[in-house]
Amino acid sequence: MQKKGTLSGFYKSGVISEDAIDVLDVEYLAQISIGRQRFIVSLDTGSSDFWIPDISCSVCSKQHRFNASRSLHYVENGQKWAIQYGLGNAQGFLGNDTLYIFGENSTRLDIPKTIFGQATFIDPHFQEAGFDGMLGLAFPSLSQFQALPPIYNAFQQGLLDEPIFTVYLQKRGNLNDVPGGVFTYGGLDTEHCSTEIDYHPLSRSTYYQFTIDSVSFSGGTTGVGISGPWETISDTGTSFMYGPTKIVTQFAKMVGATLNE
């Protein structure tokens, strides 16, 4: 078998599965390493850039911080960046290094020449978030760095079998830092998901954006619903279903919910 990438331990034919860390069913995180330094990152299909705090970040005292002098493969870039998320923002400069993704059964995927952000500032939301940085899984067209996201980079370098990844998230309830799902890169997660894929066309290739025609709720003896269409995204970095106030108010009314202020 011809190897498609550098994996330590058991080589899985260009497919690697990474355990997710469930934080109260609100955050799904993973441990990665870059420059031989380990970090906890949010795995985010709602963004495309990978960043972690830099050693120069004075407000990042609760996070692990990247020290370029400890890396064997670091290449300075220096380009400035700033990203505004739905909640929170960060800014800093770019670097280039080898990213390591840790899989099951002691496997590891090495992705050389990964462009990443070294944050010199993160706002209070990220300071208290319980993770170090973000690893974006959306399309390159959404990248504020104008760089290939790590998983796209891995496939382009021939490290993965297929240009797909599978997300399996568990509901663990009021538990903190427990195993809570699997992200599988380069193939399907046939252990937790169906072996068949039901494809749905995307309306834009930035986020994973698609059109939904209606939403319905079932319960009791009858079901209720509301017709669209609406544009929506599938976002592993967002904890809730949300939308325009008018539509969400209609949803709440149909299911008998009241606003908790």
Catalytic residues: 44, 235
Give the C-alpha separation, 106 to 84, whole Å: 35
Phi, psi of 88 (to 5 degrees): 95, 160
Q: Say if residues 155 and 129 touch (Cβ distance below 8 Å).
A: no
> What whole-number distance in Å separates Cα of residue 126 and Cα of residue 137?
19
Query: How does strand 50-53 pair with strand 165-169?
Result: unpaired
Phi, psi of 124 (to 5 degrees): -55, -35
HSE-CB at 240 with a 13 A cutoff on CA atoms is 5
User: Which one-letter DSSP state was computed for residue 190?
Assistant: T
